[in-house]
C-alpha cells in the first residue's frame, strides 16, 4: 500500500511532467533566448552547508539585471555575508530579507556572450529540514538591454535533495560476555566505552534480583571530572547518568560487583542499555548496549549455614593489577589448615601477597607460583571466630585483544579447630575478567580545510582501531583572483577564489572566443606595390594569414637612341609592364659629314646649281636650284604624205637641243584598181591580170605579144606570100623616200 504522502508526490510528479511538456512545446522562444542557470550539490545533508552558483547564458547587450533568489526559510539558512558577486559590472547591490536574496546589477556596456558566473552564495540546510527535494527559485525581476528596452531573460529553478543526517559517530560499551559464578560468589562486571569523546549520557543495568544482589558500584576513570548521578537502591536495576563540559581521558565507565544468592545451576543475563549520548557538538552518539551471560554452577560442596573462606577479585585499571582478596567469615572456628590458591599462569603473573591478620603461625609459600599455585598454612592456638581478611594477592594480568575471564580456585585441607577437631568451611574461589588491552600504534591525521583532524589508534596485533583527539576542519584560506576576459585564442574566467591549502576553487572557465574572421581578396603585386594571396584577419586581434608578395620591380627594356649630326644620343629605359621610364647615357651630336658637289650648267629643260655641300648622314644641304632656260624654238611648215612618201604637220624644234614637236604622217599606199587578164591572139596583144593606182601612175600591167599565125603549107592549090611581127617589152618603175627605208612595190 502506498502511503498517502507518496501518492501525493506521485501525482505531483505527473503534474510536473504535464506542465513541463506544455512549457517545452509552447515556449520555444524561452528555450532559444537568454536565461539564468544555477548549480549546486545534488544532495546536501541536514545541518550541512553548500554553495549555489548562478550563471547567465550571455551578458551581451545587457544593461541592468535584478535577480531574486527565493527559498524556504524553514529549510534553508542564508547569510548575506556569504553571498559573493562574481560578475564584472559598473555597480551591483545585494540584499537579503524574508527568504529572498536579491542581486541587482548595472553594466556600462554588455559583457561576454558566453556563460558568465553572476554570483554565488553559501547556504546551510537546517538540521530539522525534512528530507526530500527542495529548491531555489531564481527569478529575473527586471532586465533591460543597452537600448533600455526590456530584455528577455528567463529565470530557473535549482533543485537539490536534502539527505537525512545519519549518525556520524558510533561507540560501543564493553563488558564480559560471560561470567561464571556460584553460591555466595562475587563477581565484577566492568563497563568501558570505546571512546572518551562523550560529554553526557546515561546507562541502566538490569539483573535478576532473585539470583544476584548488587554489592557495590565503583566509578571508572571515564567519570573523572564528570557530574555523576547514580541510583543503586532500585530492585533489579542500576541507573547512572553523567554530564560534563569537557572530555575526560579514561574509557572505563564503572564496575558493578554482584553476589550470587542461590546454589542453583542456571544462567541469567545482566544487560546494560545506553541512552542519550552526546558529544561536544551535541551530536547524538549511537551506542548499542551489551549483555553478560552469567552462568551459575551448582556447588555440591556447599554446606548450608557453614561459614566460608572465599575469594574476591578486582581489576585496577590504573595500576593494571588484579587483586584477589581471600576472606574468612566469622565463626569459622579455624585452628589449622593448608590452602592452595590455583591460578592460570597464561593469564596472571603472581606479583606479591600481603597477610591480612596474624594468627599464631601463618606461612605463605610462593615457590610454586610459576606453576600457578600459591600455598599458605595457618595455625591458631585459639579458634578463629572473627571475620578476617586472610591474604591479599596481587597479580599482573596478561592482556589479550578480547576480554578474558580467568578462574581462580581455592582448596583447603587438614581443616581443624584449635582442638584438632575437623571443621567444615565453604571454600570458594573467584573468577576475574581481564579486560582487553590492544597494542595500539597512534597515527595523527592533521586537519584539512574541509575535514577535521584526529588521531587513529590501531592495534598492531588484531587491527582494532579507534579515533580520538578530533579537531575542527580549518576552513578554506581563500585567495581572490581577478576576472580575465577570454580572447580569441585563450580561455578567460570570472573572478574566483581558490584556497592556499587545497584545490578548492570557484573557478569557472570561459571558453576562448575563436577568431572573428574577416576575409580579404587576393591582390597581385605590381612593379612598385606589394601584393598578397587571399587571406583572413581577425577583427579583434592581430591574427592573420596574410602573406605579402613582394613588389615586382620594373622590368626595364633599354632602347639606345644614337646621336645624329645635330642632336645628342641617349639610352631610354621603359618598363615592359607599366609606364615607368628613365633616360641616361647621353652622347654628343656628331656634326655633319660634308660632301662637296660641283656646280652644273643650265640647259633648256633641266635645273642647274652652284657648287654646294651635303651631309653623308642627313639631308643637310646648301643646294640652291637654278631654273631651266626653256627652248629656243624654230618653226617648220607641214607637208602632206603621198602613196609612197611620208608627210608631217607643222612643227617646232629647239636651236640648242634636239627638242622637236615633229610628228610624222605615214605614206598613204596605193589605191589599187583591178584589171582582168586578156589573152593575146595571133594578131593582137594580150596581158596578164594587173592593178593600177587611182592616185598615181603605179601599174603592174605586163603585155603579152601577138602570136602570129601558125602557118600550114598547102601544095599549089592557092598561091600565098609569108608575114612577120616584132618582140614583147616589160616596163618597171621604182622610187626613193628621203630619211626612210622603203621597199619597192
Ligand atoms: Zn588488539
Ligand atoms: Zn582549502
Ligand atoms: Zn582573433
Ligand atoms: Zn614597370
Ligand atoms: Zn648631316
Ligand atoms: Zn632646245
Ligand atoms: Zn593566129
Ligand atoms: Zn599611187
741 near 722, Cβ under 8 Å? Answer: no
- DSSP-assigned letter for residue 376: E
In 167-299 the beta strands, taken as DSSP E runs, fall at 169-174, 178-182, 186-193, 200-206, 212-219, 227-231, 237-243, 252-260, 266-278, 285-288, 290-297
Task: State the average pLDDT over residues 91-116.
Answer: 88
141 near 153, Cβ under 8 Å? Answer: no
- DSSP-assigned letter for residue 608: E
Domain range 169-297, CATH class:
mainly beta
Phi-psi region of 170 (alpha: psi -120 to 50; beta: other; left: phi over 0): beta
**CA 86, CA 54: separation in Å to the nearest integer?**
10
Residue 650 has pLDDT above 70, yes or no: yes
**If DSSP codes are grouped into helix, strand and coil, which group holds residue 11?**
helix
Ligand 1 geometric centre to CA of 457 (Å): 10
Ligand 2 geometric centre to CA of 496 (Å): 14
Ligand 5 geometric centre to CA of 566 (Å): 8
Ligand that comes closest to the CA of residue 682: 7
Ligand 2 geometric centre to CA of 498 (Å): 7
User: Taking ligand 5, which is a single-atom ion, which protein residues have CB atoms under 5 Å away?
Assistant: 565, 592, 615, 617-618, 620
- Per residue in 383-396, pLDDT (tens digit) is 999 999 999 999 99
- Per residue in 720-738, pLDDT (tens digit) is 555 555 544 444 454 444 4
Ligand 7 geometric centre to CA of 703 (Å): 17
Ligand 6 geometric centre to CA of 544 (Å): 97
315 near 322, Cβ under 8 Å? Answer: yes
Would you give the distance in Å from CA 402 to the centre of its chain?
Answer: 57
Ligand 6 geometric centre to CA of 10 (Å): 149
Residue 477 has pLDDT above 70, yes or no: yes
User: Taking ligand 2, which is a single-atom ion, which protein residues have CB atoms under 5 Å away?
Assistant: 449, 476, 499, 501-502, 504
Q: Could you tell me the pLDDT band of residue 14, with boundaries at 50, 70 and 90?
A: very low
Nearest to 87 by CA among 413, 425, 485, 418: 485
Classify each residue of 259-274 as buried b or exposed e, where b means 16 or more C-beta atoms within 10 Å of its C-beta: bbeebeeeebebebbb
What is the DSSP annotation of 32-80?
HSEEEEEEE-SEEETT-EEEEEEEES--TTEEEEEEEEE--TTTEEEEE
Ligand 4 geometric centre to CA of 570 (Å): 20
**CA 55, CA 41: separation in Å to the nearest integer?**
15
Ligand 6 geometric centre to CA of 426 (Å): 207
| Number of DSSP helices (H) and strands (E) in the chain, helices first | 2, 58
Ligand 4 geometric centre to CA of 523 (Å): 17
170 near 79, Cβ under 8 Å? Answer: no
Ligand 3 geometric centre to CA of 534 (Å): 17
Ligand 1 geometric centre to CA of 399 (Å): 9
Ligand that comes closest to the CA of residue 518: 3
Ligand 3 geometric centre to CA of 583 (Å): 49
**CA 461, CA 710: separation in Å to the nearest integer?**
207
- pLDDT, position 186: 87
- Per residue in 225-243, pLDDT (tens digit) is 999 999 999 889 999 999 9
Complex prediction ipTM: 0.42
On average, the pLDDT of the chain sits at 87
Task: State the average pLDDT over residues 463-478.
Answer: 86
Task: State the average pLDDT over residues 535-555.
Answer: 92
**CA 650, CA 379: separation in Å to the nearest integer?**
223
Ligand that comes closest to the CA of residue 540: 3
**CA 692, CA 698: separation in Å to the nearest integer?**
5
Q: How far is CA 693 from CA 643, 675, 701, in A?
A: 9, 11, 12
Ligand that comes closest to the CA of residue 629: 6
Burial of 152 (0-12, 13-18, 19+ CB in 10 A): middle
Ligand that comes closest to the CA of residue 539: 3
Ligand 8 geometric centre to CA of 672 (Å): 8
- pLDDT, position 433: 85
Nearest to 113 by CA among 58, 170, 42, 188: 58
Nearest to 187 by CA among 219, 212, 205: 212
Ligand 7 geometric centre to CA of 674 (Å): 28
Ligand 2 geometric centre to CA of 454 (Å): 18
What is the DSSP annotation of 325-365?
EEEE-TT--EEEEEEEEE--TTTEEEEEEEESS--SEEEEE
- pLDDT, position 32: 59
298 near 265, Cβ under 8 Å? Answer: yes
Burial of 575 (0-12, 13-18, 19+ CB in 10 A): middle
Residue 369 has pLDDT above 90, yes or no: yes
Residue 167 dihedral angles phi and psi, to the nearest 5°: -60, 125
Burial of 41 (0-12, 13-18, 19+ CB in 10 A): middle
**CA 623, CA 610: separation in Å to the nearest integer?**
7
- pLDDT, position 563: 92
Ligand that comes closest to the CA of residue 439: 1
Within 13 Å and on the Cβ side, how many CA atoms surround 51? 13
Ligand 1 geometric centre to CA of 467 (Å): 14
Ligand 6 geometric centre to CA of 610 (Å): 22
Nearest to 62 by CA among 116, 110, 119, 114: 110
User: Taking ligand 3, which is a single-atom ion, which protein residues have CB atoms under 5 Å away?
Assistant: 488, 515, 538, 540-541, 543
CATH of domain 308-434: 2.60.40.680
Ligand 2 geometric centre to CA of 447 (Å): 11
Ligand that comes closest to the CA of residue 654: 6
Task: State the average pLDDT over residues 9-27.
Answer: 35
User: Taking ligand 1, which is a single-atom ion, which protein residues have CB atoms under 5 Å away?
Assistant: 401, 438, 459, 461-462, 464
What residue spans define the domains of the chain?
33-163, 169-297, 308-434, 440-471, 478-510, 517-549, 556-587, 594-626, 633-665, 670-745
Element (H, E) at 30: helix 28-32
Q: Could you tell me the pLDDT band of residue 113, with boundaries at 50, 70 and 90?
A: confident
**CA 77, CA 235: separation in Å to the nearest integer?**
50
Is 308-434 the same fold as 33-163? yes
Ligand 3 geometric centre to CA of 518 (Å): 10
What is the DSSP annotation of 649-713?
--EEEESSS--B---EE------EEEE--B---SSS-EE--EEEESSS--B---EE---------
- pLDDT, position 719: 54
Q: Could you tell me the pLDDT band of residue 598, with boundaries at 50, 70 and 90?
A: very high
Q: Which of 10-24, 127-141, 682-696 has the lowest mean pLDDT?
A: 10-24
Ligand 6 geometric centre to CA of 639 (Å): 23
Ligand 8 geometric centre to CA of 699 (Å): 9
* 33-163, CATH topology level: Immunoglobulin-like (2.60.40)
**If DSSP codes are grouped into helix, strand and coil, which group holds residue 497?**
strand
Ligand 7 geometric centre to CA of 709 (Å): 4
Ligand 3 geometric centre to CA of 488 (Å): 4
- pLDDT, position 557: 94
Residue 118 has pLDDT above 60, yes or no: yes
Nearest to 449 by CA among 509, 507, 508, 505: 505
**CA 391, CA 310: separation in Å to the nearest integer?**
11
Residue 13 has pLDDT above 60, yes or no: no
- Per residue in 493-534, pLDDT (tens digit) is 988 889 998 888 889 889 999 999 999 999 999 999 999 999
Ligand 5 geometric centre to CA of 621 (Å): 8
**Quick count: other Cβ atoms within 10 Å of Cβ 183?**
19
Amino acid at each position: 500500500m502506498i502511503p498517502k504522502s507518496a501518492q501525493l508526490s506521485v501525482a505531483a510528479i505527473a503534474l510536473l511532467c504535464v506542465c513541463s511538456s506544455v512549457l517545452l512545446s509552447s515556449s520555444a522562444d524561452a528555450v532559444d533566448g537568454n536565461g539564468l542557470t544555477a548549480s549546486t550539490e545534488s544532495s546536501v545533508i541536514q545541518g550541512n552547508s553548500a554553495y549555489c552558483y548562478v550563471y547567465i547564458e550571455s551578458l551581451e547587450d545587457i544593461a541592468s539585471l535584478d535577480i531574486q533568489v527565493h527559498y524556504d526559510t524553514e529549510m534553508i539558512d542564508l547569510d548575506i555575508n556569504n553571498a559573493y558577486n562574481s560578475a564584472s559590472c559598473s555597480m551591483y547591490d545585494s540584499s537579503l530579507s524574508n527568504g529572498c536574496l536579491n542581486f541587482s546589477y548595472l553594466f556600462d556596456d554588455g559583457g561576454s556572450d558566453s556563460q558568465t558566473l553572476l554570483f554565488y552564495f553559501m547556504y546551510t540546510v537546517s538540521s530539522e529540514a525534512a528530507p526530500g527535494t527542495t529548491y531555489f527559485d531564481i527569478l529575473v525581476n527586471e532586465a533591460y538591454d543597452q537600448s533600455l528596452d526590456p530584455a528577455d531573460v528567463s529565470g530557473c529553478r535549482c533543485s537539490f535533495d536534502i539527505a537525512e543526517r545519519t549518525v556520524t559517530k558510533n561507540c560501543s560499551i564493553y563488558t564480559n560476555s560471560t561470567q561464571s559464578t556460584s553460591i555466595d560468589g562475587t563477581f565484577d562486571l566492568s563497563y568501558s566505552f570505546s571512546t572518551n569523546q562523550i560529554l553526557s549520557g546515561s546507562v541502566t543495568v538490569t539483573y535478576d534480583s532473585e539470583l544476584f544482589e548488587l554489592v557495590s558500584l565503583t566509578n571508572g576513570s571515564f567519570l573523572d571530572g564528570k557530574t555523576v548521578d547514580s541510583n543503586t537502591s532500585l530492585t533489579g536495576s542500576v541507573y547512572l547518568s553523567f554530564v560534563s563540559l569537557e572530555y575526560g581521558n579514561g574509557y572505563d565507565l564503572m564496575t558493578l560487583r554482584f553476589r550470587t544468592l542461590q546454589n542453583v545451576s542456571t544462567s541469567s543475563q545482566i544487560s546494560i542499555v545506553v541512552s542519550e549520548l552526546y558529544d561536544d557538538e551535541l551530536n547524538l552518539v549511537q551506542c548499542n548496549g551489551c549483555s553478560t551471560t552469567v552462568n551459575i554452577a551448582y556447588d555440591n560442596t556447599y554446606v548450608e549455614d557453614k561459614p566460608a573462606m572465599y575469594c574476591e577479585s578486582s581489576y585496577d585499571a590504573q595500576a593494571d593489577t588484579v587483586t584477589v582478596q581471600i576472606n574468612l567469615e566469622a565463626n569459622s572456628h579455624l585452628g589449622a589448615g593448608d590452602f592452595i590458591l590455583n591460578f592460570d599462569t597464561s593469564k596472571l603473573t603472581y606479583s606479591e601477597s600481603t597477610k591480612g591478620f596474624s594468627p599464631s603461625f601463618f606461612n605463605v609459600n610462593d615457590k610454586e607460583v610459576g606453576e600457578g599455585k600459591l600455598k599458605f598454612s595457618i595455625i591458631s592456638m585459639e579458634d578463629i571466630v572473627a571475620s578476617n581478611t586472610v591474604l591479599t594477592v596481587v597479580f599482573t594480568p596478561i592482556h589479550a585483544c578480547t576480554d578474558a575471564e580467568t578462574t581462580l580456585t581455592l582448596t583447603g585441607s587438614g581443616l581443624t579447630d584449635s582442638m584438632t577437631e575437623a571443621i567444615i568451611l565453604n571454600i570458594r574461589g573467584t573468577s576475574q575478567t581481564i579486560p582487553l588491552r590492544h597494542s595500539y600504534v597512534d597515527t595523527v591525521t592533521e586537519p584539512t580545510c574541509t575535514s577535521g583532524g584526529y588521531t587513529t589508534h590501531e592495534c598492531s596485533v588484531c587491527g582494532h582501531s579507534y579515533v580520538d583527539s578530533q579537531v575542527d576542519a580549518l576552513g578554506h584560506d581563500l585567495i581572490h583572483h581577478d576576472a580575465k576576459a577570454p580572447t580569441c585564442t585563450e580561455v578567460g574566467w570570472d573572478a574566483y577564489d581558490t584556497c592556499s591549502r587545497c584545490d578548492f576553487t570557484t573557478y569557472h572557465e570561459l571558453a576562448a572566443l575563436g577568431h572573428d574572421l574577416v576575409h580579404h581578396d587576393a591582390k597581385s603585386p605590381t612593379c612598385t606595390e606589394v601584393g598578397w594571396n587571399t587571406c583572413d584577419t581577425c577583427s579583434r586581434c592581430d591574427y592573420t594569414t596574410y602573406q605579402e608578395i613582394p613588389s615586382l620591380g620594373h622590368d626595364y627594356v633599354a632602347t639606345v637612341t644614337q646621336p645624329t649630326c645635330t642632336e645628342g644620343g641617349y639610352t631610354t629605359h621603359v618598363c615592359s609592364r607599366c609606364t615607368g621610364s628613365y633616360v641616361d647615357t647621353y652622347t654628343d651630336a656628331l656634326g655633319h659629314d660634308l660632301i662637296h658637289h660641283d656646280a652644273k650648267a643650265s640647259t633648256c629643260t633641266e635645273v642647274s646649281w652652284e657648287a654646294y655641300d651635303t651631309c653623308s648622314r642627313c639631308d643637310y644641304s646648301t643646294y640652291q636650284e637654278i631654273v631651266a632656260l626653256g627652248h629656243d624654238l624654230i618653226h617648220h611648215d607641214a607637208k602632206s604624205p603621198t602613196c609612197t612618201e611620208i608627210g608631217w604637220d607643222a612643227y617646232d624644234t629647239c636651236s640648242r637641243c634636239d627638242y622637236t614637236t615633229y610628228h610624222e604622217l605615214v605614206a598613204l599606199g596605193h589605191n589599187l584598181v583591178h584589171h582582168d587578164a586578156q589573152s593575146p591572139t595571133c594578131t593582137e596583144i594580150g596581158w596578164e591580170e594587173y592593178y593600177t593606182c587611182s592616185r598615181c601612175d603605179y601599174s603592174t600591167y605586163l603585155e603579152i605579144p601577138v602570136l602570129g599565125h601558125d602557118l600550114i603549107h598547102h601544095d599549089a592549090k592557092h598561091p600565098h606570100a609569108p608575114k612577120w611581127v616584132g618582140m614583147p617589152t616589160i616596163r618597171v618603175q621604182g622610187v626613193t623616200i628621203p630619211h626612210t627605208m622603203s621597199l619597192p612595190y
